[in-house]
């Protein structure tokens, strides 16, 4: 263990979660991150975190499984010490119109994106309260603010994260703990790179700044909200979307 503060990041092997983990390592945090399945991406993230001078604990974890989450958090605490920052970034897509959406696809997205966020909060925030310090940043989406056709499950899960974040902020503010959510728009990640050129062009046309965001754009905002510079900000849903929702 070191004297550095500890951050837990879910979905840390790829995309936004990876960018957040690397930025927080640069900010002076030791990093515990989880991922859905082991692979080169997770190993590469851990290597880059250590190269930044941070200690790292990583493990596969299904965030939809509360028992698995509790085991991951316990492992992180044993390896690095008590966390004081939680960033919930794990998420999946299973897109389809609601009228023909498979019930299993609805449940998978709600269980991973929304219940997974609850599971991590449930497993860490009590210690934040006991220690009288801590910060939570949940990765939401602009789809949770205005919805998106063909993404009823994803939009519902992200709207749920927004409501959860606001409720928690009211519950824990008295203990000096802040809770905020970041709502990205169209971000260049593995998810968006898999879209057809037609879909990408359509998405880009909706962005006033006329570019897709980067995972680092989101990580910069998370870094700010986790810092003392944001010490009077809680219960907010902060958009990083190039002006999609104005």
User: Cα(82)–Cα(101) distance, rounded to whole angstroms?
Assistant: 41
Tokens of 33: 């991150």
Tokens of 245: 């929702």
40 CB-near residues (< 8 Å, 6+ apart): none
- Check 29, 35, 57, 154 and give the catalytic one: 154
* Nearest Cα residue to 134 out of 122, 123, 144, 124: 124
Is 57 among the residues known to form the active site? no
Q: Are strands 6-9 and 30-35 parallel, antiparallel or unpaired?
A: parallel
Tokens of 156: 């519902």
φ and ψ at 240, to 5 degrees?
Answer: -130, 85
**DSSP H or E run through 22:** helix 15-26
The catalytic site residues sit at 154
């Amino acid at each position: 263990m070191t004297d550095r503060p500890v951050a837990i990041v879910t979905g840390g092997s790829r995309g936004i979660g990876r960018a957040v983990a690397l930025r927080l390592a640069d900010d002076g945090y030791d990093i515990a991150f989880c991922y859905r399945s082991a692979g080169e991406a997770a190993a590469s993230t851990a290597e880059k975190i250590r190269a930044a001078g941070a200690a790292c604990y990583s493990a596969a974890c299904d965030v939809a499984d509360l028992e698995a989450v509790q085991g991951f958090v316990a492992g992180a605490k044993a390896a690095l010490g008590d966390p004081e920052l939680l960033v919930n970034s794990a998420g999946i897509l299973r897109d389809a119109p609601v009228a023909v959406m498979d019930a299993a696809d609805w449940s998978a997205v709600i269980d991973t994106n929304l219940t997974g966020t609850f599971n991590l909060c449930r497993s860490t925030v009590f210690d934040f309260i006991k220690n009288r310090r801590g910060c939570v940043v949940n990765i939401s989406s602009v789809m949770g603010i205005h919805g998106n056709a063909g993404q009823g499950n994803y939009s519902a899960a992200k709207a749920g994260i927004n409501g959860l974040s606001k409720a928690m902020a009211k519950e824990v503010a008295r203990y000096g703990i802040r809770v905020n959510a970041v709502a990205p728009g169209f971000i260049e990640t593995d998810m968006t790179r898999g879209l057809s050129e037609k879909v990408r062009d359509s998405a880009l046309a909706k962005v006033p700044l006329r570019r897709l965001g980067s995972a680092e754009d989101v990580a910069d905002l998370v870094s700010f909200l986790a810092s003392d510079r944001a010490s009077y900000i809680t219960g907010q849903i902060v958009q990083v979307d190039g002006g999609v929702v104005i």
